[in-house]
Amino acid sequence: METLTAIQKQYLEQPKERISGSEAIVRCLLAEGVDILYGYPGGAIMPVYDELYKYEDKINHVLTRHEQCAAHAAQGYARISGKVGVAMATSGPGATNLVTGIADAQIDSTPIVCITGQVPSHLLGSDAFQETDIVGISTPVTKWNHQVTKASQIPEIIARAFYIAKSGRPGPVLIDITKDAQFEEFDFQYKKCTGVRSYVPVPKTDDSSVTAAAELINSAKKPLIIWGQGIILSKAELELKALVEKAGIPAAWTIMGASALPTSHPLNIGMVGMHGNYAPNVLTNDCDVLIAIGMRFDDRVTGKLDEYATQAKIVHFEIDPAEVDKNIQTDVAVLGDAKQSLLQLLPQINTNSHPEWLQRFKDLYEIEYDKVIKNDLHPTKEGLTMGEVLKEINIQTKGEAAIVSDVGQHQMIACRYADFNVTKSNITSGGLGTMGFALPAAIGAKMAAPEREVVAVIGDGGYQMTIQELGTIFQNKVPVKIVVLNNEFLGMVRQWQQLFFEKRYASTEMVNPNFVAIAQGYYIEAKKVTKREDLASAVKEMIDSDAPYFLEVCVEKEGNVFPMVPSGASVSDIRLE
């Protein structure tokens, strides 16, 4: 059970009081424990902003510079804290600008609640100024959405929104509220939602499926665990560690699962997928039992489906029944919450170790080290690599920073080389691959966890998609550290052009502005590094700073990310060069 704050108690289940719909919205948020929300005002949401002004001592509304970034900031907030992030926007363009963030939260199972203003109900469907059918538009990318046209519906619908966003497999919820409902007065009272009759957030775990899973795991000679974000979402980090150690099973992670088990753990054998590590990809097609926990066999993980782990028995621990047998046919599916399922499984697991099998991962790691890692982390060539920047960040932050990455080459390098010694430390746009995600998400993450070091690692392309959020960082004094790895290319697309389109670099070369001057224009301390000998001190200076800090590192222009599973290839056909 969550513990309620004093403010929450002040607004939960109080005697009825006649207030406006807009004041009710703010009180609902307070009752749900919202301390920060991100948004942008406009005509159809103005009554709510008027109330936020009155309640500003209790709730901090952060003005982003674009609504998309309000959604991403809410995502960053949710990903690092496990709490529901909140974004607010006006009708029409305000609402449509949220959609990218909502879609990102949907595919990455991030709990956010978006509240949008809407034209007065008598104008609905009349093509009024800034009217858009945001409920229709957001339907395919929300876990749930709803339009409110009467003030009296507000408490129940908002309670339901928070419940649905957070429970089961989390996701985004959008609530659209007409302006007349915001003005209307009614007798307000707030009760938390505890259930929706048509909705089963966590399916019942079948005891016999747990036993069957335990039998397969105990009998395995070459078992492999692949865990995903489900571990983090269900707070099952310790249970995963216990399973891995008790059964002595090498464990790999999907990009969304990163940081649930520390990088330094001897049984953590790295990342699976397109740019994952060599050993877990190759040996996916050699293991005898594949234990998937809280992951969904995304195509970037599996490569060619009909050549994926065909030799193995598949055990799938999963909260969402629709994910079972969706891409990979399972032998044993254990439905339910990962933490509860693992707790049930652990006593049935025999203490074991697989030294010879583990050695094969170590041998393949040596190959990857020689061919790839050595050159990424300890380059002998002149140009700086992205990998060595990550290595410096690891040193300066002791591997305890939350790394917020954008999308592309730098993202893959960040996920491959960052030391993740603390859970909830890899905040990135996994499923949707949203360039521009990192800077606003870092704002949300830092504000939700001010005690943590938050380092945004961004490419020069993605950075310019949401660069205006430097304004939000400056105005709110959010001490995020921003590292732009500048190769003057849209690097990942350029890499594909090099490998698969005979180096026809169509629209991937970037002529960039003076990034340092731009940061300084927002009064953010900024530095540019072009030489290896300046890198360590610059990263140290950045981490030592208590203020927001911008560091541009000019890296090798045509560096590639390897290993790589080319699209359409089998995971065991992963290329090292």
Partner 1 sequence: MTTEKQLYTVSVYTENNIGLLNRISAIFQRRHINIESLNISVSEIEGVSRFTILINMSEDQIKKIIGQIEKQVEVIKAYYHTDDDTIYQESCLFKIKSDLLFEERQIQNIIKESNAHIVTVNKEFFVLEKSGRRAELETLHKALSVFGIMQFVRSARIAVTKDELKISEMLNAFKN
Residue from 65, 66, 72, 143 in contact with partner 1 (CB under 8 A): 143
Q: Quick check: 360 binds partner 1 (CB under 8 A)?
A: no
Q: How far apart are CA 289 and CA 284, in angstroms?
A: 9
Taking alpha carbons only, the member of 95, 232, 245, 244 closest to residue 177 is 95
Q: How many C-beta atoms lie closer than 10 Å to residue 123's C-beta?
A: 16
Query: What does the alpha-carbon distance between residue 493 and residue 325 come to, in Å, rounded to a whole number?
Result: 32
Q: By C-beta, is 322 or 506 nearer to partner 1?
A: 322
Amino acid 489 reads F
Catalytic residue among 295, 386, 492, 564: 492
Among 147, 302, 425, 487, binds partner 1 (CB under 8 A): 147
Using the contact rule CB under 8 A, the part of the chain among 30-38, 192-200, 251-259, 454-462 near partner 1 is 192-200
Counting contacts by CB under 8 A, is residue 506 touching partner 1? no
135 binds partner 1 (CB under 8 A): yes
188 binds partner 1 (CB under 8 A): no
Which lies closer to partner 1 via its Cβ, residue 83 or residue 143?
143
CB atoms closer than 10 angstroms to residue 266: 10
Q: Which region, judged by CB under 8 A, interacts with partner 1, from 138-146, 445-453, 510-518, 524-532?
A: 138-146
Q: Segment 148-177, which members bind partner 1 (CB under 8 A)?
A: 164
Q: Which stretch binds partner 1 (CB under 8 A): 209-217, 230-238, 316-324, 433-441?
A: 316-324
Q: Does 245 bind partner 1 (CB under 8 A)?
A: no
Closer residue to partner 1 (CB): 306 or 382: 306
* CA-wise closest residue to 239 among 300, 294, 198: 294
Peptide bond into 120 cis (omega under 30): no
Contact at 8 Å (CB) between 185 and 20?
A: yes
Instruction: Establish whether 492 is a catalytic residue.
Output: yes
Least distance between partner 1 and beta carbon 164 (Å): 6
- The interface region with partner 1, picked from 62-70, 321-329, 403-411, 526-534 by CB under 8 A, is 321-329
Instruction: Answer for the pair 418, 386: CB distance below 8 angstroms, yes or no.
Output: no
Q: Which residue in 129, 199, 500, 523 binds partner 1 (CB under 8 A)?
A: 199
Out of 67, 131, 237, 552, the active site residue is 67
Catalytic-residue membership of 179:
yes
* Distance between CA atoms of residues 242 and 293, nearest Å: 14
Given the structure tokens 């707790």, which residue do they identify?
343
Which of helix, strand or coil describes residue 481?
strand
Specify the residue, 1 or 322, whose C-beta has the smaller distance to partner 1.
322
Task: Say how far apart CA 283 and CA 572 lie, in whole Å.
Answer: 7
Per-residue tokens: 240: 């995963």
Residue 320 near partner 1 by CB under 8 A: yes
Does residue 139 touch partner 1 according to CB under 8 A? yes
Q: Is the bond leading into 563 cis (omega within 30 degrees of zero)?
A: yes
125 binds partner 1 (CB under 8 A): no
> According to the 3-state scheme, what is the secondary structure of 288-334?
CEEEEECCCCCHHHHECHHHCCCCCEEEEEECCHHHCCCCCCCCEEE
Q: Residue 421 and residue 320: Cα distance in Å, rounded?
A: 28
Q: Is 224 helix (H, G, I), strand (E, B) or coil?
A: strand
- Give the shortest CB-27-to-partner 1 separation in angstroms: 24
67 is catalytic: yes
Active site residues per annotation: 67, 129-130, 179, 492
Contacting positions for partner 1 (CB under 8 A): 135-136, 139-140, 143-147, 164, 195-199, 320-326
